[in-house]
Structures are given as structure tokens and as C-alpha cells.
A and B are shown apart, each in its own frame.
Chain A
Amino acid sequence: MRFLLAFLVVGPLIGAVAALLPAPPGLQGKSPEQAILRHGVTVTGVVLIAAIVLALGFDHDHPSKMQATTDISWIPALDVRIHLGVDGISLPLLVLSALLTFLCALYSCFKLPSGPSPKAFVALLLVLESGTLATFAVLDLLLFFLAFETVLIPMYFLIARWGGEQRTRAAWKFILFTLLGSVVMLLGLLLIGIKAGTFDIMALATDNGSGLTTSVQVTAVLAIGIGLAVKTPMWPLHSWLPDAHTAAPTVGSVLLAGVLLKMGTYGFVRILLPVAPDGFRTFAPYLGAFAVVGIIYGSLACLALARRGAKGDLKRLIAYSSVGHMGFVLLGIATMTPTGVNGALFANIAHGLITGLLFFLVGALKDRTGTTDLDTLADRTGAALYGRAPRLGGLVAFAAVASLGLPGLAGFWGEMLALFGAFDPADDLSRPAFLTFTAIAAFGTLLTAAYMLVVVRRVCMGAAPQPDTPRLADVQTYEFAAWTPLVALTVVAGLWPKVLLGLTDPAVQQLLSGGPR
């Protein structure tokens, strides 16, 4: 078990180095490019299998217990230990990351984004995977920071080299914003580590903030919170996200939305809630307020983009919808109740599945029509995907409906639980404030439904295609292969939420009452 977890972190790195070396003679395939892309699929596939085996071997009766732990001293001078472990909170995120990266590798094996050599592409993808998996696996504050930073350089290059229009600017905005956030976060992490005398998340969580004065906690939560909020992103620190998503290649967008944003919310749950509860309590109402502003803001921005004649970009629209969805996640965390935090974690996973799927679909649409501009796509009456490529149209409608939170699909439970949590927040939080948030956020779900339905109407429906309009290629086999798991999991998580909640709930209960053991 512990080797599996260590392999999850190290395996992709070894794969990345191997990708830069020339291929061994037997495995060259048709062309060197083909060989290197297949190498990417193999490595991410092995990592995904390892993650699944880890999930199967996980003791589901005790999800609140840290399992598969490794604890080795690495830099005694800074008290940095290679401390890895997985519990019910991190396990779903680990599997989600491994799955999405594998699907991305598979997708790009058949549909390589236009840009320089695929060799670098695969290597960067693997480094990115290592960084994301490490973020969810480490239990040391400084290692968490290291993993947090590891994803920056690969993502920068993925956007700047393989991206679309305005990619250079978007890539710079992405890396400078998130670096500024994470360096400020480092200051908070150091403050906690120095005042408490340890960087170990487990030890700090067991103390539950008892070793830290309130003023230290408040300062640290402010610093760490800003760093995580940039990554999440929380309104008003979100402005890098729409640009990055619009410019990034399909695979980059999927990973950005599906995995990288989760690192921010995971940090809130894993570090801030158990380690500095007093400080967090001070800021919880503000966090909640920013979260609901984000929900409303994201929905209004989407509505504006979806309007006819607004020249709205579909990728940009989904990016703004992410701001709204992450608002629900943050609202759930801000309640500091098991219900709210469970909802946040559920919404996290659901957003990864659904938004990942949406970006895949929009990417496919762009490959076929050459544009993501809603007005160009929809022309006068609508893009009429139902008629021109029925399966693709059906999938778009499915993903959009899942995203607006239809009961029975994954998007529903997370938002509902977050709202429930906000309805009855932790004892020492102001109930009236959170009731207001609940009401506003509930209104936000209506707005979300509104713009998603507008998008479905403009993209999927429309006047019956004339005989002379070119038919679009419908869903290809490799696209089915890449998307089916996401669709299936969305349905499973929607119909049987206990799969996830059974894992997260005990861990969250433990977390809020004195840390994992």
C-alpha cells in the first residue's frame, strides 16, 4: 500500500524523464511521435491502475484513519519529512486526478493539440500529474507547498506553447497570479510551522490549533487563505481563470478545472480547518460572503456571455461557471459543519467530472467547427447539434444539465449539502448571515440553470439543417473512450452518493473534532 502511494507520486516523474530519452528500439511504433504519445498513455494508465488498486485496498471501514503512510525524514534542518498518507478526504481526489490525466493522455494520443513536439507535451503532462497527486498525498506543510508549486511550470508551458489565441498573456497571468498567491501562502505556512514547532499536518491537526494563539491563527489563516483562494479561485481573485481557460488547449483546460482548482479547496479542508480553527472561524463569514458573491457573479457573467450578440466564448463561459461552482464549495467549507464540508468535497469531485467533460466537449466542438464563439456557432437560430451530430449534442445537453445540478446527477448533492450546511452553520458562526448566504446561493442555482439552458438551446437546438450545411463528424471511438468514464461516474455519483459520502463523512467528522489519527 505505502509503495503504491509513493509510486503515484514518483512514477509520473520517472515517466517524464523517460519521455525525454530516445525510445528503446522495440517500442518505436509507426513514428517517434506516436511512440511518445503511447508512452504517455502507458505511464498515466499504470498510475491510474495503481490509484484504483489503492482505492480497492483502502480500508473502507475506517476512512478517517490515515492509511498507506510513509514517514521518512528528508531535510532535518527545516524539519521537512516525506510524510505521505491517504484518508477518505484525499482518496477520491487522488483517483479523480489520476483518471483525468489518463483520459487527457488518451485523448491527446489521437488528437494532439497543435504546437511543438509531443515529447515535451507528454513530459510536462506527467510532471503536472506528479505535482497534483503529490498535493493530495503529502502530509507536511512544506512538501504541500513544494507540490503546489510543481504544477506551475508545466501548466505555464502547456498554455503558452499549445494554447490558442492570446496564450502568452494568459499563461503569464496564470503563473504570476498563482505564484504570488502561493508565496503569500508560504508565509502563513511558515508562521504556523515556526510557532507550533512542527510542519507535520497530522501533528498539527491533532493539536487542533491548541498550540497557536488566536492572533497567530488569524494572521496565518489570512495568508494561507489568500494563497488558496487565488488557486480555487474565489471572487475577486479569479481574474486569471477565464483567460487561462480560454487560451489553454483542451487537455490543459480539463486538467486546470478538474484537478488544479481542487488543490485550492483541498488546502482549505486539509490545512486551515483542522490546524487553525480559531483563525478560520474569524474569517468564515467573510469567506461565505465572497463565496456567494462568486456564485452570483459567475452566473451573471455566464448569462451575459450566453446572450445573443455578446460574442461569448464557450470556454470562457464554462470558466465563469467554474467560479460559481467553486463558490458553492467555498460556502460549504465556510459553514464549518460536517454537512457543509461533505457537500464541499462532493461538489469538488462533481465539478471535476462534469466540467472536465464540458471542456472535452467544447474542445471537440472547436476541432469540428473551428470556433468556440457562441454567436458564430449558433448563427441565427442555433447550432442544431441534435440534428448535425446527435450523439455529441446529447452529450453536451447531458453535461450542461449535470452542471446545473439536476437531481440524480453528481452536481446536485454537493450544492444541496453546501446549502444545507449554510442553513445551519457551526454554533459560533452568525446564523442570520449564513441564512442570507443560503438564500442568495439558492437564487444562484436558478441563474445557473438559466444560463445552462440558454447554452443548450443555442448549441444543441436550432432550425433543421439544410441539405447543404456540412454534417459534423459525430463522436469518434477515442472520444467515447475518453468521455464514457466521466459520464458513467457522473451518473453513479448522482444516484448513489453514499460511495463518496461514506468515504468523506467519517474523515470530516474526525477533522472537525480534533484531526485524523
Chain B
Amino acid sequence: MSSPAQSAAQSVVQSVDWLAIAPPTVAALVGLAVLVADLFLGDNRKALLGWTSVAGLAASALLLLPLLDGDRSTFCLTGSTDVCSYTADRFTLVIQFLVLGGALLAALLSVTALKDADRGLPEGEYWFLLLSSAAGAALLPASRDLATLIVALEVASLPAFALVGIRHGDRKSSEAALKFFLSSVTATAVSLMGISFVYASTGTLYLTEIADRIQHVDPQLHTLAQTGVVLTLIGFAFKTAAVPFHFWVPDTYVGAPLPIAAYLSVVGKAVGFSGLILVTVVAFPSYADVWGPALAALAALTMTVGNVGALRQQATRAYSAVRLLAWSSVGQAGYLLVPIAAAAYSDDAQKSIGSTVAYALMYAAVNLGAFAVAALVARTKPLNRVSDYRGLYATRPLSALVLGFFLLCLAGLPPGIIGLFAKVTVFSAAVDAGLGWLAVIMAVNVVIALFYYLQWTALLFRAPENDEERHRAPAPLTVAIALTAALGIALSGAPQLVLRFTDTGLF
């Protein structure tokens, strides 16, 4: 007699796989805990908050380990168990690892930055915002319906706006935040409109169901569906800082605290391109003829504009090092888009996507490393000009060698072997898909990029202009640099560690 009641209850109350959603959840909970704890901690013990956050991010990254045994899904439709809102498959785990690892390194940089700011930055709020943003970014690759996707995107972005403008009384900081906020919100609005069009024409928000139904759309609604697809993509293209949605990047990076710039350059990008992958490859594969050429053109534009922008930076201008990294990150976003565009043309879309993921992992490690060294140099030279790096080898030989290695990895030349092979996979995705023209444009861009990366590298080993005393590097920065350097060198010896994603299916 209780069975009907039981089944009725089952149909309303879902069973939740807590382990599957643990990584983003832990990050969010630690963020809340830190915010509350901030109220009860005295000024001299605020450092505790930072280390709690670092531990929290490490814990949520470790919670990825038990998920490795197989795909898990939760928040499924009652009735059909294969339509779910949250899926922890290989793709999700890899991107979550990238996001949480990137956030962890950014947090390590932040510990020093907050200490140096000497209460110029509100610690409790800072950590709360960073962790919430990381939680949103970790949720995004797991989302399998458009609503969750947009929610995750906003959870990742909104705290980031606040982080960019967190420096009290700094006009540049708040201006950057406003610029970032306004342009980002516009993009999200456009995206939402696209999603509503897609929903109107298909009647579902689940990505896999959209992929099915969008092929049989009423011919009258065909234009609506097409417009919807294009508009949806715009929001994600913005996050990856693809041209023409890139103009916020340089000012935002310069205005934001350096660790936040590092965070945005890696995690912000990861959010954008994992969203793009989900929308294009999972939801709209039948519209490949629409988004394929669009993404290919976007990739070509993005890498060219980004690299030319980086090329034009003057070494002696204030903050030129961060500006250069910002523009180069736009260029790198172009390379990341190439395999996604190639997925539209190739028979095996998963293989192309794997190239993007492999490239992103390489880029994350190396770019965060470069930012870490930049943070170290910025402690003694707050203007952070590229010319300030002249003769770094004389004062800090190891940091200079490591930064040179990171920059050459970004350029894709030996000794940065992993950078070279990551570029090779991207090229091979383009050649495989028959996008020869895009491959040639990318080849030219690689040469342009080498110019500014090598110019900076060469500067490190010049004779210093004046002798200066050595300062001890703070421990968290040293750990961050050592971690990224170890990662880069290990990957150069065994590129298979990241390149294997180009070989196996991710979904």
C-alpha cells in the first residue's frame, strides 16, 4: 500500500550523486565559510583565510580522483535517465582539473599579493569571490543543459567583475571593472536571447535533446533556430576574448590585481571555450555548417589581432609586461579556437576537441608560470615594464631561466617542447579538417608571436643596467613557480600526458 506513495515521492525527490558534484560544491562551501570566518578573525590572523582557501581548492581538486573510475550523471530527468543536467565524464574532469588547478595557483599568487597589499585589499571578500568564481567555472564543463550553463557562466563571471575592481579608491581598477562588466553583461544578454530562440524552436534545454530535435525543426522556424545558434555562441566567444570581443582584455588585466589577471587569462578562457565546445559539438552538431566557418574566421581574426597587439607593445611603457601577456593571451585564444572550428569539418569531432583541451592544459601551466614570475618581479618593480626584466638572469638566475622556458613554450620552440607539440596538434587538427588556409594564417602568427616572446626572453639574459640587491622570494610564489616549472618540464619530457586527450574520446 505504501508503494504508490513511494514511487510518487521518488518521482519528485531526485537522488543526488553527491560525490559527482563534490568538486564545485566544496569550493563554494569553503568560500562561504571563509566569508563568515572573516567576521570573527582578528586583523593579525587574516592570513589564515588565504591558507584555508588554498586548502579548500586543493581538496576540491583532489575530489576529482574518486571520479576517475567512470562517467557519472546526476540531476537527471525522472523517467529518462540519460538526459541529465550534470555529467562528470572525462571532458568534465579534465576541465575541472584545469580550472581548479589554475585557481589554486592564482590563490598561491594571491596569498603574497594580499600580504604585500597590507590590508589594502579586503581579504574575506577577496577569497570568497575567488572561490565562488572557481566554483562556477568548475560547474560549467559539467552542465548539460543551457540553463545550468548560463547560470554557471554567470557564477563564474560576476565575482570576477568584483575582483577586478576590488582595489579601493583605485580609479583604474574600478574603470576596468566597469568596462569588463558592461561588455560581459551585454554578451550574456545576447546569449540568453539566443537560448530563448533555440528553446522556442526545439522546446527543450537539454543539450543532447536539442541536438536531436534541432534537426527536425519546423521549416518556418528554421531561421529562428539558426539565429539562436549564432547568438548563443556570441556569449561564449566573449569569454574566450575572441576578436571582436577582446577589447576589454588589456585594460582589465592591467587594472586588476596581478593574480586576478592570471586567473582570468587561464580560468576565464577555460570557461569560455568549454562552454563553446559544449554548445557547438554537443548541442548543435547538425549546424556545423553555420558555426564552423564562423569559428574559423573568428580564430584567424583573434590570433592575428592578438599577436599584432602584443607586437606593438613598447617595452618601456608602464605595465607593458602585463599588457603583453594580455594581448598574447588573446592570440593564444585564437589557437584554442582552431580545433573547435576544425571539429565542424572533421569526421571525428572528439579528436579535434582533444587538441583544444591539450593545448589549454599546456597554456594554463605555462601562462600561470609566466604570471607567477611577473608577480615576483612586480614586488621590486611595481611598474612591471618589459624593460624591467633586463638582466633578470644576473639577479635571479633560476627565475630568469624558468621565465625564458615559459615564454618559449608559449612561442612553441625548443626547449619548450610541450609548447611545440601542442602547436603541432592544433596544426594537425586544422590540416586534418582540410582548413589549410587557417593553418597557413596560424603559421604566420606563430612567427609574429616568436618575435615578441623571444625579444622578452633575450632581454632576460642581457647585462643588467644597474646592480640591485636580491630580495628573498616569498614561499607561496616560490611554490607556484616551482609547480608550474616542474609541470612544464615534465610535460616536455612526456608530452603524452596531455596529448593523449587528442587520441581518445572525451565525452
Contact = CB atoms under 8 A, between A and B. Distances in A.
Given A76-B496, A77-B499, A77-B500, A190 B447 contact: no
A179 B447 contact: yes
B496 A153 contact: no
A153 B413 contact: yes
B185 interface: no
B442 to A, nearest CB: 8
Given A153-B408, A194-B431, A176 B450 contact: yes
A288 B380 CA distance: 59
Contacts of B414: 131, 146, 149-150, 152-153
Question: Which among B414, B461, B502, B503 has the highest number of chain A CB atoms within 10 Å?
Answer: B414
Contacts of B16: none
A172 B453 CA distance: 12
Interface in A102-123: 116, 120
A310 interface: no
Interface stretch (B225-233, B420-428, B476-484): B420-428
Give chain B's interface secondary structure class.
helix
Nearest to A13: B415
Interface stretch (B160-168, B196-204, B432-440): B432-440
Contact of B454 (A74, A116, A145, A156): A156
Interface residues of A, number: 35
A187 B431 contact: yes
B424 A179 contact: no
Interface in B438-478: 439-440, 443-444, 446-447, 450-451, 454, 458, 461, 463
B417 interface: yes
A50 to B, nearest CB: 22
A180 B447 contact: yes
A187 B443 contact: yes
Contacts of A145: 424
B453 to A, nearest CB: 11
B413 A186 contact: no
A236 B480 CA distance: 48
A146 B417 contact: yes
A175 B500 contact: no
A116 B450 CA distance: 23
A75 interface: yes
Given A153-B415, A180-B447, A75 B496 contact: yes
B275 interface: no
Given A76-B496, A146-B414, A157-B458, A190 B444 contact: no
Nearest to A120: B461
Contacts of B496: 74-77
Interface of A: 74-78, 80, 116, 120, 127, 131, 142, 145-146, 149-150, 152-153, 156-157, 160-161, 172, 175-176, 179-180, 183-184, 186-187, 190-191, 193-194, 219
Given A156-B458, A157-B461, 8 more contacts: A78-B495, A131-B414, A149-B420, A179-B447, A186-B427, A187-B431, A187-B443, A190-B431
14 contacts: A75-B421, A78-B428, A120-B461, A146-B417, A149-B413, A152-B414, A160-B458, A161-B461, A176-B447, A183-B446, A184-B440, A190-B428, A193-B428, A219-B436
